[in-house]
């Protein structure tokens, strides 16, 4: 038979029978059984290995998160401490340095911040606290933040501002002692800023706004009551070059919350919150550029009194001592400057 012919009938029959018989089916069954064994659940060892990998991945993700996105806290000055001087040098922000370089004798040796409990006496702070309370008896914000500016006369009242010097009882509000101590303390603080940053005191001028603040836990009624937002003083008040605060009440005694917080950024996602706990007669001072972004914590109880005393290097933005009369009350808004309607430092 030629090679091209088909298989003999008997062979053909046997192959057909093999297709119908058990042996081939058995081989298929054995193959199926083997496939089933290969597709069964992982062994205990494999499960342990799998969970170990999951735990490792979670741990790595946590490490990456907490090293990339983190906020640290640091106490710069606590209420219990009595500090001769504590300071922290900082690199000046570029915009701040470019602007202040125009004013010879007013350029800081280095930007930064400081705190001292030895500049103003507790007796002087007590007299200024009495002054503040006397003023705020005649007007307060309906929200949690009230201000009193002795220079312009601006006083919070409800959701607006009034000029305290227009009030009939204004002449009886402030005593000669109040005003003399206010002027004396302002000069002591100005000298302290000049000494710390190595400036010519004659080139450092009081500027606006300089004001008393009264903060409570009252619900904010206007944007001006929301004092807790982070900000840069130079961006909020263009006249500022150096900012100081004099605290008139004690954190943890007269009020809770209300700490002053510097926000130091370290890269895009890391930052350190640097806290100052107010203490009566404590003075804090700092350069007003972006190197000292800050905010005030919301007051949670009691009343927090402080004075913001601001200084400029630009003579065009200088202002004199308060006159406590209506002589200066000739401007728009009842003698209240527009920039008083902004964030409390």
pLDDT digits (tens, 9 = 90+) for 293-327: 999 999 999 999 999 999 999 999 999 998 765 44
Does pLDDT of 4 surpass 70? no
Using pLDDT thresholds of 50, 70 and 90, give the confidence band for residue 58. Answer: confident
82: in domain: yes
Average pLDDT over residues 160-175: 89
Under 8 Å between Cβ of 252 and 275: no
111 pairs with which residues across the strands?
Answer: 90
CATH number, domain at 231?
2.60.120.620
For the entire predicted model, the pTM comes to 0.77
Range scoring the smallest mean pLDDT among 8-12, 59-63, 105-109, 218-222: 8-12
The pLDDT of residue 187: 98
Q: What is the token pair recorded at 344?
A: 């409390």
Of the candidates 68, 311, 336, 320, the one whose C-alpha atom is nearest the C-alpha of residue 194 is 311
The pLDDT of residue 67: 52
* Residues annotated as part of the active site: 304
The pLDDT of residue 255: 99
The pLDDT of residue 52: 77
Measured in whole angstroms, how far is the alpha carbon of residue 268 from the centre of its chain?
A: 15
Does pLDDT of 168 surpass 60? yes
125: in domain: yes
Cβ of 6: how many Cβ atoms within 10 Å? 8
Average pLDDT over residues 274-291: 99
Domain that holds residue 120: 73-317
Please tell me which residue, 41 or 29, carries the higher pLDDT value.
41
84: in domain: yes
Proportion of the chain above pLDDT 90, given as a percent: 68
Please tell me which residue, 271 or 47, carries the higher pLDDT value.
271
End-to-end CA distance of the chain: 111
17: in domain: no
Range scoring the smallest mean pLDDT among 17-31, 115-129, 300-314: 17-31
How many distinct structural domains can be found in the chain? Answer: 1
41: in domain: no
Could you report the per-residue pLDDT of 131-160, keeping only the tens digit for each? Answer: 999 999 999 999 999 999 999 999 999 999
Phi, psi at 76, each rounded to 5°: -85, -35
Query: Mean of the per-residue pLDDT values for the chain?
Result: 85
Longest CA pairwise span in the chain (Å): 139
Could you report the per-residue pLDDT of 200-258, keeping only the tens digit for each? Answer: 999 999 999 999 999 999 999 999 899 999 999 999 999 999 999 999 999 999 999 99
Q: What is the token pair recorded at 248?
A: 């008139």
63: in domain: no
């Amino acid at each position: 038979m030629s090679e091209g012919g088909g298989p003999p009938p008997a062979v053909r029959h046997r192959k057909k029978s093999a297709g119908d018989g058990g042996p081939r089916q058995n081989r298929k069954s054995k193959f199926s059984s083997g496939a089933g064994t290969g597709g069964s659940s992982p062994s205990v060892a494999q499960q342990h290995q799998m969970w170990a990998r999951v735990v490792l991945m979670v741990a790595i993700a946590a490490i990456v998160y907490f090293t990339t996105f983190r906020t640290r806290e640091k106490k710069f000055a606590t209420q219990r401490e009595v500090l001769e001087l504590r300071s922290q040098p900082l690199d000046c922000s570029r915009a701040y340095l470019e602007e202040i370089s125009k004013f010879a004798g007013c350029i800081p040796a280095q930007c930064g911040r400081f705190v001292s409990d030895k500049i103003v006496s507790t007796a002087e702070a007590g007299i200024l606290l009495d002054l503040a309370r006397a003023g705020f008896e005649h007007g307060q914000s309906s929200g949690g933040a009230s201000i009193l500016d002795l220079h312009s006369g601006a006083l919070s009242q409800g959701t607006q501002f009034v000029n305290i010097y227009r009030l009939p009882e204004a002449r009886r509000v402030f005593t000669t002692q109040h005003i003399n101590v206010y002027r004396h303390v302002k000069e002591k603080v100005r000298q302290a800023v000049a000494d710390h940053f190595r400036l010519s005191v004659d080139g450092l001028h009081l500027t606006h706004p300089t004001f008393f603040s009264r903060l409570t836990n009252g619900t904010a009624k206007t944007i001006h009551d929301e004092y807790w937002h982070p900000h840069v003083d130079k961006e909020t008040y263009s006249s500022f070059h150096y900012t100081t605060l004099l605290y008139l009440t004690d954190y943890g005694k007269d009020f809770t919350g209300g700490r002053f917080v510097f926000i130091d950024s370290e890269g895009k996602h890391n930052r350190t919150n640097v806290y100052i706990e107010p203490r009566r007669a404590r003075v804090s001072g700092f350069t007003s550029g972006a190197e000292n972004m800050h905010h005030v914590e919301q007051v949670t109880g009691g009343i927090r009194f402080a004075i913001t005393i601001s200084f400029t290097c630009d003579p065009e933005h200088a202002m004199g001592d308060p006159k406590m009369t209506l002589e200066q009350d000739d401007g728009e808004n009842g003698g209240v400057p527009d920039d008083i309607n902004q964030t409390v430092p």
